[in-house]
Amino acid sequence: MRTKYKRVLLKLSGESLMGNQGYGIDSTRLSDYAEQIKEIATAGVQVAIVIGGGNIFRGLSGTSKGVDRVKGDQMGMLATVINSLALSSALESAGQPAQVFTAINMFPIGEHYSKWKAIDALNAGKVAILAGGTGNPFFTTDTGSALRGIEVEANVMLKGTRVDGIYTADPEKDPAATKFDEITYDEIYTRGLKVMDLTATTLCKENNLPIIVFDMDTKGNLKKVMDGEKIGTLVY
């Protein structure tokens, strides 16, 4: 089977892992994700993953409760490690080899990330889960995924969200919002759209890493993107 992309960086939302719960990890959503990821990995796609931590802790929201920003961001990084371990466990249960790499040295929880070790894992047929953000405070997991996508030489960054693409406004709040099939990085700036933070968008633009924003919570969508179906929004 031929897929449109050989190597992808898949960015998953921590919030989406909650499923219908108010907090933590929904086991059904986790296994749905694992099945979708295994399906494309089995078809020969090399998959690197960055996952957020918002289902457990958000550094920025912590600062409003009196948590120091640097410590809050470090707590957020640890939340991404918890999610990464959960996803790697779900993938291995489904029969898909996976390896967790951490931006901060946390052996034996995960291997300390380096571009070459991650690429070796991808070439060996493993899903490489890149945890701990960039390892630095003041950077979001969006920026972490843009950076890792560029480093591991991914053909595209897939941003899996709850909505099926980029709209003129928040479709959950504005029923008149219309969806873009394609949009340029510059247009995201000028329209002030909240797709990713500016640092992440700039990194992707400067390094020519296209982004596809799509609904990951609908089973089968990840494979549709790999098959080149026009779902979601392409940012170029």
Nearest residue to 182 (alpha-carbon basis) of 230, 234, 236: 234
Q: Which domains does the chain have, with CATH numbers?
A: 7-235 (3.40.1160.10)
Q: Enter the pTM of the model.
A: 0.94
Rounded Cα gap, residues 49 and 28, in angstroms: 19
Could you tell me the two tokens for 35?
A: 């099945």
* Predicted local distance difference test score (pLDDT) of residue 210: 97
Of the candidates 141, 203, 193, 199, the residue with the CA atom closest to the CA atom of residue 165: 193
Task: Please check whether residue 31 is in contact with residue 94, taking contact to mean a CB–CB distance below 8 angstroms.
Answer: yes
Structure tokens belonging to residue 209 = 């890493």
C-alpha angle 225-192-161 in degrees, rounded to nearest 5: 30
Q: Give tens-digit pLDDT for 169-212.
A: 888 889 899 999 999 999 998 998 988 989 999 999 999 999 99
pLDDT digits (tens, 9 = 90+) for 55-99: 999 766 766 778 899 999 999 999 999 999 999 999 999 999 999
End-to-end alpha carbon distance in the chain: 26
- What pLDDT score was predicted for residue 140? 94
Measured distance CA(22)–CA(11) in Å, rounded: 21
Over residues 24-33, the mean pLDDT reads 96
For residues 67 and 203, give the distance between their C-alpha atoms in angstroms, rounded to a whole number.
29
Q: What is the mean pLDDT of residues 144-166?
A: 96
The pLDDT value recorded for residue 22 is 85
For residues 128 and 139, give the distance between their C-alpha atoms in angstroms, rounded to a whole number: 21
Phi, psi of 38, rounded to the nearest 5 degrees: -60, -40
In this prediction, residue 3 has a pLDDT band, given cuts at 50, 70 and 90, of: confident
Alpha helices in 104-227 (DSSP H): 115-123, 141-151, 185-191, 198-206, 221-226
Distance CA 129, CA 140 (A): 16
Length of the chain in residues, anyone? 236
